[in-house]
Structure 1
């Protein structure tokens, strides 16, 4: 990418052969971690029966099937969508060895608390991934999955949640209404309610209320940062509806996100998310600026809000064709001009799904994962020492299947 090195420092670029950086990787991590700065809680347990799990799975399947038909009526079944759906099916089959292992742990691991209700709307539930070690309070990641605002689901965060739980991090993966069940305002409202629930209740599960991080991936990155900014604006206006504070979030992580819808609408249309459907999701063309965080933070009326926000840390693959990495580059630049703290990590050659699926399925050392953990454990010398001795993650999918899946991926 043609991004001048002096525009976005520190920028760390990763490749398959290792790390290439304008600054030493360890030093970059140290600087970023330093910027972010004997209770034994017992996590509540709830009884889960096999019958209940089967019933819940059937209900979710029925709901998603019904919404799928509604969506197809909106999209139409043209050549482009037939090709993409076929590619998605082949992609999923190739990575099935990994998906099956993750699904087994998701349904049967004692570390997972599924379907915790946080609101009164459909799909207002979240999953918790809890460490086995409860000696101390743990950092917390509130995770919002992607899915093109259409197929997002909390279980998409299972792989990340299980792996972070092994590193003594609690993960709360929030579900939310997708289109056509809801539009962008509904999604932002759901995520805000989910964040509020976690902030209020995570201490009951052993979470450290002083170390709560918000993370979104793809469309989830967009929705979560919209909710984040909306909350900051509410606080600045001292609205009575404020029931959680952005000051409770230690940092925001954005993975492969899009933050300026006006710049992306034509790109999405060319890739099959047609303009008419996208505008329906975003509540019309007149709402694109409102739900574009990059544009919103330049509004003079909220000039005093942005500098008070916690740090933004963005991650993006330079080979991402679903949401080009320029989306993160320009957002970081805009954040810095507005007075916010922001850092960007680009990964050379990585696609939209490499960072979130293919690389974790490979096992071994995962640079993105290690970078996130180093920030989560910043200031905790014991946890950092434990991280340094952690064994490499096991491989879940043979390399040949990962390479083939990458070739057919519709993302």
Structure 2
């Protein structure tokens, strides 16, 4: 603030006092305000005006009038009417208001704002008519800055996540190499069986060593809808085939080469192939289970619910039936995309990317089985669904345990037989990767009990089986769990 004011300036401010009328300072966004407390005293307005419009004496010429560098344009005068009618106050402003209410110092001095609508009025706080530094330009810069910061934060998470993924892969590499060798050289695997006319419409079948009809799991792997691949199910296929269960790992196109609808369509075609052809590979067509992990669990659930809806309409033709699925087994999946979007945004890229994968925010309900099964219009379809069993680790921070809990609750409310099996302290990858590499696989034990339920001979044979071999040293698995990006 200037220590002295020229005589011309004092005369100008004195004249201004006589023209300023009482001004309302009520918040236009807060209803039912008392009018008695909304009028600012003239003296206070004068003081506010003086404090906000302090000018250097070089704004005046030698005659005491405003010169060419004046803050007031030539041939224009201040009006003596109130700056804003109390009865016609609006909550937004246009360019003309900005031009008439913001006065700029051409030498870069501070900008004076005379429109209260340009001030923030949050929390019901009252602001005087002149506010100083808050204006549209600064708000624009603030918004742009916040976007830049958000982009930097998102990029930082992506970079650190990528580095963590590389370190995680290195630590579990001893197990990955052993599984890869088994995948490419085992005679018990039928790879790249084509089931559709689209790219990646292929599946792998992991076969037990004897030819007696065996129960079957049609398995859809995870991969965040972006990096899913059928080979990710090799470790599960290896262990379950050794326990007398056929595993068919179904591949599907990923984003951005495919939409969510096309991923579900690919999965449905793969399921259809398994239901109609698995007997040729020694599978029992009356004991087919549908299973998915992570994003694969979501895709499998969508395919199952969509198929039930089709079957509920008599005129719809289908290539497979929900009745052919003995049970749905979902591991670490998300089934309500609105809730999952809010969670994933805190850990990865923007919501806009997730919305793009789901074909836009308007399609989120369509791809949320938890929401679909509760729609009264789908009551007949829901009655066709098989029993549902979900598995989830309590320490899963990629897809929270609540995703499975709320889906089970929703299914039970609409009459579907559903249950949830929790693994205490297990993360997103513990249940599916680290534990199987340890040779201590609780998920494997639970799956075998469910699928071989009632088959005393198979259960007795498994009880005598030797312990599964460890693939990776324990210290490496513990370190991998600590740095895992999942």
For the superposition of Structure 1 and Structure 2, which TM-score range results when normalised by the shorter chain?
0.7 to 0.9
Aligned match for 1:119, one of 184, 196, 218 = 196
Out of 308, 314, 317, which is 1:238 matched to? 314
Q: By how many angstroms is 1:390 displaced?
A: 1.6
Give the CA deviation at 1:381: 1.3
Instruction: Tell me, yes or no, if structure 1 residue 107 matches structure 2 residue 107.
Output: no
1:123-134 paired onto structure 2 within 5 Å:
123-134=200-211
Task: Give me the whole-angstrom Cα distance separating, in 1, the residues matched to 2:161 and 2:385.
Answer: 39
Distance in 2 (alpha carbons) for counterparts of 1:211 and 1:410 = 36
Q: Deviations along 1:177-231, whole A, 9 cap, x unmatched?
A: 0001101100000000000011111000000000000000000000000000000
Determine the C-alpha separation between the residues in 2 that align with 1:279 and 1:360.
33
- Name the SS for the 1:208 alignment partner: strand
1:36-67 superposed Cα distances (whole Å, 9 cap, x missing partner): xxxxxxxxxxxxxxxxxxxxxxxxxxxxxxxx
User: Structure 2 regions of 5+ residues with no counterpart?
Assistant: 1-151
Deviation at 1:307, TM superposition (A): 2.8
Query: Distance in 1 between the 2:201 and 2:227 partners?
Result: 15
Look up the match of 2:172: 95
Query: Shift of residue 76 of structure 1?
Result: 11
Q: Matched residue of 1:308: which SS?
A: coil
Say whether 1:225 aligns with 2:311: no
Q: Give distance in 1, aligned partners of 2:430 and 2:405.
A: 19
In the alignment, the residues of structure 1 paired with residue 261 and residue 153 of structure 2 have an alpha-carbon distance, to the nearest angstrom, of 24
Q: How does 1:37-56 map to 2 (within 5 A)?
A: none
Q: Which residue of 1 aligns with 2:380?
A: 304
Matching residue of 1:262: 338
How far 1:79 moved relative to its partner?
A: 1.9
Q: How does 1:10-159 map to 2 (within 5 A)?
A: 78-134=155-211, 136-159=212-235
Partner of 2:75 in structure 1?
A: none
- 8 Å CA contact 2:203–2:251 kept in 1: the answer is yes
Q: Report the alpha carbon displacement of residue 240 of structure 1 after superposing the two structures with TM.
A: 3.7
Quote the residue 2:17 is aligned against: none
Where 1:78 maps in the other structure, the secondary structure is: helix
Are positions 1:402 and 2:470 aligned together?
Answer: no
- What is the distance in 2 between the residues matched to 1:375 and 1:191? 23
Q: Is 2:444 the counterpart of 1:383?
A: no
Q: Which residue of the partner structure matches residue 291 of structure 1?
A: 367
Q: Is the 8 A contact 2:326 2:387 kept in 1?
A: yes
The answer to whether structure 1 residue 332 and structure 2 residue 408 are counterparts is: yes
Judge which range, 333-342 or 300-309, deviates more: 300-309
SS in 1 for 2:480: helix
* Structure 2 residue 394 is the aligned partner of structure 1 residue 318: yes
Higher mean C-alpha displacement, 304-313 vs 120-129: 304-313
Cα displacement (A) at 1:380: 1.2
Superposition TM-score, scaled by structure 2 size: 0.68
Counterpart Cα distance in 2 of 1:360 and 1:235: 37
Residue 77 of structure 1: how far off its partner (Å): 8.6
Structure-2 change in CA distance of 1:274 and 1:106 (3 Å): same
Superimposed CA distance per residue, residues 122-177 of structure 1 (whole angstroms, 9 cap, x where no aligned partner): 1100000000111x200000000001100100000000001111011100000000
Shift >3 Å, 4+ stretches = none
Q: Is the 8 A contact 2:222 2:297 kept in 1?
A: yes
1:274 — aligned with what? 350
Aligned twin of 1:196: 272
Q: Which gives a bigger RCO, structure 1 or 2 (Cα 8 Å, sep 6+)? A: 1
Conserved in 1, the CA contact under 8 Å of 2:206 and 2:247? yes
Structure with the greater alpha carbon radius of gyration: 2
Distance in 2 of aligned mates of 1:277 and 1:239: 37
Distance 1:183 1:96 in 2: 32
Question: Is the deviation greater in 100-109 or in 382-391?
Answer: 382-391
For 1:373, which of 438, 441, 448 is the aligned residue?
448
d(CA) in 2 for partners of 1:89, 1:406: 13
In structure 1, the residue matched to 2:263 is: 187
3-state SS of paired residue (2:383): helix
Instruction: Tell me the alpha carbon deviations over residues 7-62 of structure 1, each in whole angstroms, 9 at most, x when there is no partner.
Output: xxxxxxxxxxxxxxxxxxxxxxxxxxxxxxxxxxxxxxxxxxxxxxxxxxxxxxxx
The Cα shift of 1:266 comes to: 1.5
- Aligned residue for 2:247, secondary structure, equals strand
Secondary structure at the aligned position of 1:178 is classed as coil
Q: Match of 2:246?
A: 170
Query: Which stretch of structure 1 is more off in the superposition, 295-304 or 271-280?
Result: 271-280
Tell me the distance in 1 between the aligned counterparts of 2:313 and 2:350. 36
Q: 2:154 touches 2:350 (CA, 8 Å); kept in 1?
A: no
Q: Which moved more, 1:374-383 or 1:327-336?
A: 374-383
> d(CA) in 2 for partners of 1:324 and 1:182?
26
